[in-house]
Structure 1
C-alpha cells in the first residue's frame, strides 16, 4: 500500500475542502437539526463529506468510509483501510463564530491509525501525523510531549456534557477542576485534542463522542507520546460512541487513578 500517496492526497483534499468552507462565510447556510436542537448540521457539512467520498472512491475504490453525516459505508468491523471523516467538527461554532471548528480525517488500517489530519480552517493550521514519522502543525514539527502534574495543567472539559448526563455524578470531577491550573472549553473535540498535542492544553475529557470526533486526533497525540483512551482507561471503540480522555504521559494515569476511578463512565 502506497501510504505516502494516501497522505499526500488526503492533505490536498483537506486543504481544498477548507477553501470551500471559507468561501461559504459570506453566504446564507441551510441549517437543520439532527438528534436534538443543539445538534446542528448545515448544507456545507453534507457537501464537504460528499466531496471527500467522491475523491476517495475515485482513486481508492477498495477503501471504506465512515463519516458523520452518514454518506459513507455501513460498518461491522474495521478490516482493511477505513477513512473516518468529520467534515466540520464544531458545527455550532462554524455557524455562530466562523472559527473554532475543524475538518478531521483519520485513515486507519485494520483498526490502527496510520494518518491523522485536523485542519483549523479559520486559522489555516493543518495538524497532521503519519504514524512513525512525527507530528506537525503546517510545516513545523511538534516536540514530544513532556510529563506534567494536575496542578500545572490546563484541562479541557465541557461542563454541559457532565451536567446533561444523569448517569454521571459530576461532583466526582470537582477535585480535578479545583486542583488544575485552569479549565477550558472550545466546543470542538478535534481541536481540543490537537491543543493537547501542541501543549496549549495538557488534557481533555469528554463524556460522549463518536469515532470521527477522535480518530484523527488520536493519531496525532499518540505520535507525540500522549495517551488516548476512554474515561475507564480502555482502548477506544472506533465503531460506536465512547467517552474520551486525552492527556500528556503521566498525567493521563494520574487523572485515571486519582480522579476518575469511582465514576460510571
Structure 2
C-alpha cells in the first residue's frame, strides 16, 4: 500500500511543479490583491488560480478523493473519512506580494485523518520537502534523518511570529517573552509551511503558532512525523485536520521544555 502513496506523491509533485511555474511567471505581471479577514490577510488571483488548478487535477485523476483548500475548495467537508487532499496554494501570500520570495505551495494527502503524503515546495528557492508515511522525509533528493538529537532552550532557534509577543500581556517567568530571552534566538519567515519544513530539516529547533488552519500545517505534520519531531497543540493534543489549532513543533526534549510556557497559556489580546 505504501507504493500507492509513493505514486500519489510523485503525481502530486508534477502538479505542484507546474503550479510553481505559474506563480513564478505571475511575478512579472501586476497582481489583483484583495484582503480577507483583515487588512493584513491578503489574497491574490493566483491563490485562486493555483488552488483551482490542483483541485481540478485531483478530481480528474482521483475522483473518489475529497479536497479542501484555503480559498474555496471543500467548504462543506465535515469529516476526514476517506481520502482528503489539504491544499494551501500560496502559503505566505504577503511574502509573495511584497518580497516575491519566501512562499510555498503546501499539499497533504490524508486517509481517515492520518497523513499519508506531505509536500512543501519552497518555490523561489526551488526546494522540495516531501514525505510519505513510513518511507521517510526528503529535502530534494536527500533523505532527512529519521531521529533528531536533543537540544535545550538556551541552544535553540525557535520559529515564532513577533506579533504574538506584541500581544502578550503577562511578563512573569511563564511568559513567551521570558522564553525568548532564554532561547538562543527566534526567527519568523512569514509562512508556517516553510517554518515547519525547516524544523523537519534542522534549520529550526522548534516552531510555535497560535492560530493555524489545517492547510497551514497538514503537509508539515507528515514531514515532522518522519523526522522524529513532536507536534501537538498547546494542550498536548494531536492537531485537528478540520479546524484551527495552536501548534507546537519541536525536538522531543525541547518540546517538553516549551510546553511549560504554552500549556493553557493566558495573557494575550487578540
Name the TM-score, length of structure 1 as normaliser: 0.95
1:67-216 matched pairs, under 5 angstroms: 67-143=69-145, 144-164=147-167, 169=169, 171=171, 172-216=175-219
* Paired residues of 1:102 and 1:191 also in contact (CA < 8 A): yes
Structure 1 residues 236-263: Cα deviation after superposition (integer angstroms, max 9, x where no partner): 011111111110121111111x322351
3-state SS in 1 of match to 2:34: strand
Structure 1 Cα separation of the partners of residues 105 and 38 of structure 2: 22
| 2:234–2:264 Cα contact (<8 Å) kept | no
| Residues 149-170 of structure 1: CA deviation (Å, up to 9, x unaligned) | 1011000111213434xxx645
Asked whether the 8 Å contact 2:80–2:112 carries over to 1, the reply is yes
Query: Which of residues 6, 9, 14 in structure 1 aligns to 2:8?
Result: 6
Q: Would you say the 8 A contact 1:107–1:116 is kept in 2?
A: yes
Contact 1:162-1:207 within 8 A present in 2 as well: no
State yes or no: 1:244 paired with 2:247.
Answer: yes
Compared CA separation, residues 227 and 43, structure 1 to 2 (3 A): same
SS in 2 for 1:85: strand
3-state SS of paired residue (1:259): helix
In structure 1, runs of 5+ residues without a counterpart are none
Any idea what SS the aligned residue of 2:262 has?
A: coil
Q: 1:249-260 to 2 correspondence within 5 Å?
A: 249-256=252-259, 258-260=260-262
